[in-house]
Amino acid sequence: MSELRFDGKVVAITGAGQGVGRAYALAFARRGAKIVANDLAEEALDALVRQIGEEGGEAIAHRTSIATAEGGESLTAAALDAWGRIDVLIHNAGILRDATFAKLAPEQLEAVMAVHLLGAFHTAQPAFRWMKENGGGRILLTSSASGLFGNFGQSNYAAAKLGMVGLVRVLALEGIKYGIHSNAISPYANSGLTGGDMSDDALLSPANIAPTALVLCHGDCPSNGEIYQTAAGWTGRVVIGLTEGYALTDKKSPEELFAHWEAVRSSPTHELATAKDLVGVLKAKLGVDSLQ
């Protein structure tokens, strides 16, 4: 098939200074996109913009927090000021404030929600509004295995990341008639947050996540309102569905329902109880003993 190109497209990426966001920025730039790179890590951001320029691409730095409505608005404004359009919005920025639920402090909850979930609203809404009036575009929000499957000590992070799924479902419904496709990506990769090996040859390198983002943000991709788990070059769609269930004959009887509870809770293939269970599935899919 022909190469997936983004010539003439403007792509805005939050959290682009390092890790997965940096991998996205480089991948899109190398395929012709103009990049608005958002991050608060100034040195990393400057290095990224410089590298893209040295490779013949175009990029500008956006150093404003997207945890406020004004910050999110300014990201789209920066794209419009520089190039007059915004074709792709990727919200990738994130922080961790891990604590067990009993010990979680309000400020730990609020900080994570502000960057992840509110940041998604603040960045996606102005981009969505422009796309709605100008022929469409692509929005990619970042979920997580922690949000989809749960992870000990990450109630704040998991709630924010699953919130991305609900948001992206609504964006998909409201945007499709305007040519806006919205999806969620759940990347499992080493990053600045995890402290793992981010070199290009590492199995969990952020570079191995970029192909999925490129596909989901390309104008020919049909996906809309969907969730994709990706790691180490493997990608699979995460499905929210129903079991066969059980229909009560006596609709007022909890006893009858309890007697058939196993039918209600019957499991699909690869039911994951926690984010850690994903590691086992990935090892089997990739045929490796370790993901390090």
Residue range 165-177, pLDDT digits in tens:
999 999 999 999 9
CB 64 within 8 A of CB 74: yes
> Mean pLDDT throughout 267-271?
63
Residue 29 in this model has a pLDDT that exceeds 70: yes
Please report whether residue 211 resides in a domain.
yes
Residue 146 in this model has a pLDDT that exceeds 80: yes
Please report whether residue 99 resides in a domain.
yes
Which residues are known to be catalytic?
A: 157
- Compute the distance between CA of residue 20 and CA of residue 186 in angstroms, rounded to an integer: 11
Angle value at C-alpha 166, between 229 and 140, nearest 5 degrees: 50
Residue 107 belongs to domain spanning: 10-238
- Compute the distance between CA of residue 24 and CA of residue 208 in angstroms, rounded to an integer: 10
Burial of residue 221 (CB within 10 Å: 0-12, 13-18, 19+) is middle
Bridge-based pairing of strands 137-142 and 180-187 is parallel
Please report whether residue 142 resides in a domain.
yes
Please spell the DSSP secondary structure of 43-109, one letter per residue.
HHHHHHHHHHHHTT-EEEEE-S-SSSHHHHHHHHHHHHHHHS---EEEE-------B-GGG--HHHH
The strand ranges marked E within the chain are 10-14, 34-38, 58-62, 88-91, 137-142, 180-187, 227-231, 234-238
Q: Give pTM, 2 decimals.
A: 0.93
Please report whether residue 42 resides in a domain.
yes
Please report whether residue 54 resides in a domain.
yes
Please report whether residue 41 resides in a domain.
yes
Task: Render pLDDT for 187-202 as a digit per residue (tens, 0 to 9).
Answer: 999 887 776 776 877 8
Bridge-based pairing of strands 227-231 and 234-238 is antiparallel
Please report whether residue 251 resides in a domain.
no
Total structural domains within the chain: 1
Helix (H, G, I), strand (E, B) or coil at 33: coil
pLDDT category of residue 50 using cuts at 50, 70 and 90: very high
CATH number at residue 196: 3.40.50.720
Task: Render pLDDT for 62-117 as a digit per residue (tens, 0 to 9).
Answer: 999 999 999 999 999 999 999 999 999 999 999 999 999 999 999 999 999 999 99
Please report whether residue 32 resides in a domain.
yes
Task: Render pLDDT for 220-244 as a digit per residue (tens, 0 to 9).
Answer: 999 999 999 999 999 999 988 777 8
